[in-house]
Amino acid sequence: MNILISNDDGIYAAGVRALAEALSDTEHRITVVCPDRERSATGHALTLQEPLRVDQIEGVYPSNIEAWACSGTPSDTVKLALDALLSDRPDLVLSGINRGANLGTDVLYSGTVSAAMEGVLEGVPSIAFSLTSFAHLDFSAAANFAKKMVNMIATYPLEEAILLNVNIPAIPESDICGAVVTRLGIRRYKDLFEKRVDPRGKTYYWLSGVVVEEEAEADTDIQAIRDNYVTITPLKYDLTLAAAIPFMNTWTEKLATLTGS
């Protein structure tokens, strides 16, 4: 296959290098296009008010892998790769391996997931990979699982251009219990804005946050990670709440009556 790899942690991040190196000894053609610096939690942002710049990266990845650094967001990098940099359209887009989990509602903010979603928006099946720890720096188990998934897709292609959000527990590979298909759980954060003053006396704020609540039913990605399983969650970009449409239809009929009065 022709495979495009991107991420949100930047072109030099350990996770994307581990992923590319794991696939470098396969028969697949690998191209890496990543942001030139960390772009975590950028969601699906695109750069519209300034130009995008790209530089080819030498000496970082295996010699059979072409790598580029882009000045934009994760979504920019995939869009630019698909529409400008690559001569042949990829069969698969991979994003990651992210440093830190992308579980539950994290996917709404994640640059890792958004890079993969950009591939789906352009009709290419995509996978976002995340290792569920910021402190754990051994990406080997995650990279090995990613390689197995890619080989599986090469043999048994996905039926449509879908996004698979994959989280790998940050534990020894021998302790992973297997892989399960899950739905998204819910994570709620308490946002903390630390107020600071810069050397010129101007106030600024630094955002941080902690998880204060998780809804982790048995079939969710959050619970499966707690149980030491790799989670695979199929996602779509259609955010329509179909169950609310019948009520909204009656609601708008009443609204029309009120407007008329």
Q: Is the dihedral of CA 236, 238, 243, 244 positive or negative?
A: positive
CA distance 4 to 10: 15
pTM of the model: 0.92
Instruction: Quote the radius of gyration of the chain (alpha carbons, Å).
Output: 20
Residue type for 94, please? L
- Check: CB of residue 43 under 8 Å from CB of residue 108: yes
- pLDDT value of residue 260: 56
Q: Are strands 66-70 and 54-57 parallel, antiparallel or unpaired?
A: antiparallel
Low pLDDT (below 70) residues in the chain: 212-213, 259-261
Tokens for 25, please give them: 């000894």
Longest distance between any two alpha carbons in the chain, whole Å: 72
- pLDDT value of residue 181: 96
